[in-house]
Amino acid sequence: MVEILIPYVQKRGRGYRYRRVVPAKPPQIRKAIGCKNWLVSFKPGTPVAVVEREARRLAAKHDTEIAAARGEDVTPEQIAKAEANARSWLTEDRAKIYEMLEFMLSTAPDEGLSAADQAFVSALENSGRYRPQSLNLSAALKRDVELYGQDRDPKPPQYAVDSFVKAIGDKDVTTITRADVSEWLAAQEKAGLAPATIKRRLGALGALVGRAYLDFDHDGRNPFARHQIKRGAGGANDRLPFNRAMLDLIDAYLASSKRLGHETRNMIRIMKATGAGPAEVGGLAVADVSLDSDVPFIWVRHNALRGVKADARDRQIPLIGDALTAAKDALTRAQGGSPDTSPVFSSFGISGRGADSISAKINKALRSAGIPKSPRLTGYSFRHTIKESLRSAGVADHIQRRVLGHAGQGVADRYGSPRARLTEARDALTAALDHLGDVDPSIYSERERFE
């Protein structure tokens, strides 16, 4: 047998073979990796330089897998130390560097280099910058959370990664292909996920992989970019209004449920009679609710709790009927503090999710009331219900836009004092409430239909 100084490589006949035993202890290593050894054969005639390069790549990859199975993932602090050490070594003569590397490999334990040493070797091979040979999607998420996830909700990217790993596997981020992503998208659609949910998960994975590519100077194209999401029937962007039967169900649930929290109850009551969205109502500050004016109103505007999507969405909406009663109750329950920063609904700020938390609460209540489970029938449907009722009541287009916060370019959209606008909006909503739920039943799919 010809002796060669390449770790884990043996001469086999006219060719070479890479063979590495997966450590047997502790037992969780083989259980996590799923095999007892790695075997890779090289074709006869493969140049030794090619064998060496591929063997070192495999060794580094397997070092990472073993370290991960042991729970020894390299930390950001270890990476910083490894990069600084590597930059100091890069000033030395190349022969000394090779001698040092050979010494490290020859004296490494049977299970391979430690995570910290592997980080140093990686930085040394990449001009002083750490670049992992293998970074699977789960490891990329863990690293991303440590570096960039301090102020964001960890659940959405975790759900996205979990769904991809379940469908495709926990692949190295640099080996994920567009075909993999297309297969995953098809699996999500087959599982019945709403197009909006699939789009959010696709965006989360694209951002995660994009940051990994930038951090490690990978010049490949992001496989999660430029995919078209089929909306199909029931797409989340095609929300529908509630009909009268659905509104009756909601009213009955609000009146009888003992499990429903008072904040969710009041938000639904306000949304139903104003056409304001979940975040617009849920993000109200105490100063945004005026009950003492001639026409009581809520003011949807930028505040310390949340912003608004566009200038047109900044508007005052009259409070009438049950919405006025709900607003009074909500203000009574609101905690003290500065009116400009104190939320009317404290749950808006819980967990830092804001609008997502509010929407989840409202949608859960709607399902409990008996509203069919559909991405087109959600808390946002209250806006569409008001929109349809305004049309049915014959309200002028510019007043409809004023109530709902839609942009308009005509003179009528800008005409009138604030008080006159409030009075017009109040009269419009009063007329519209008589038409709530007057919608054509043919707009619903069979599973959405409720009589």
C-alpha to C-alpha distance for 192 and 189, rounded to whole angstroms = 5
CA distances in angstroms from 110 to 23, 24, 220, listed in the order given: 8, 11, 34
pLDDT at residue number 192: 78
> Residue 295: its pLDDT value, please?
94
Long-range (24+ apart) CB contacts under 8 A made by 3-7 are 4/48, 5/102, 6/48, 6/51, 6/52, 6/55, 6/56, 7/55, 7/56, 7/59, 7/105
Q: Residue 295 and residue 290: Cα distance in Å, rounded?
A: 9
Provide the terminal-to-terminal Cα distance of the chain, rounded to the nearest Å: 83
Average pLDDT over residues 70-99: 81
Quote the pLDDT of residue 348.
Answer: 67
Per-residue confidence at 352, pLDDT binned at 50, 70, 90?
very low
The continuous run of DSSP H or E covering 297 comes out as strand 297-300
Q: Which residues pair with 172 in a beta bridge?
A: 136
Question: For residue range 380-397, what is the model confidence (pLDDT) as tens digits?
Answer: 999 999 999 999 999 998
Host H or E run for residue 432: helix 418-433
Select from 407, 430, 414 the least CA-distant residue to 317: 430
**Which of helix, strand or coil describes residue 16?**
strand
pLDDT for 108: 73
Q: What Cα–Cα distance (Å) separates residue 122 from each residue in 22, 100, 406?
A: 21, 14, 54
Provide the whole-model pTM: 0.52
Q: Long-range contacts of range 322-325, CB-CB < 8 Å, 24 or more positions apart? A: 322/269, 322/272, 322/273, 323/269, 323/270, 323/272, 323/273, 323/274, 324/291, 324/296, 325/269
Out of 94-98, 160-164, 248-252, pick the least confident: 94-98
With tokens 């005409």, the residue in question is 415
Q: In angstroms, rounded to a whole number, what is the distance separating the alpha carbons of residues 375 and 371?
A: 11
User: Are the C-beta atoms of residues 310 and 407 closer than 8 Å to each other?
Assistant: yes
* Winning range, highest mean pLDDT, from 37-41, 60-64, 328-332: 328-332
Residue keyed to tokens 């609710």? 289
DSSP secondary structure letter of residue 45: T
Q: Quick one: how far is CA 346 from the chain centroid? A: 23
What is the fold of 244-443? hpI Integrase; Chain A (1.10.443)
Name the residue among 220, 232, 117 with its Cα closest to residue 173. Answer: 220
Domain ranges of the chain: 9-125, 137-215, 244-443
Contacting residues for 103 by C-beta, under 8 A, at least 6 apart:
none
Largest CA distance in the chain: 98
Number of helices (H) and strands (E) in the chain: give both, helices first.
18, 6
| Confidence band of 196 (pLDDT split at 50, 70, 90) | confident
Confidence of residue 234 (pLDDT cuts 50, 70, 90): very low
Q: What are the start-end ranges of the H helices in 195-243?
A: 195-215
**Predicted pLDDT at 413:** 53
pLDDT-derived band of residue 129, with 50, 70 and 90 as boundaries? confident
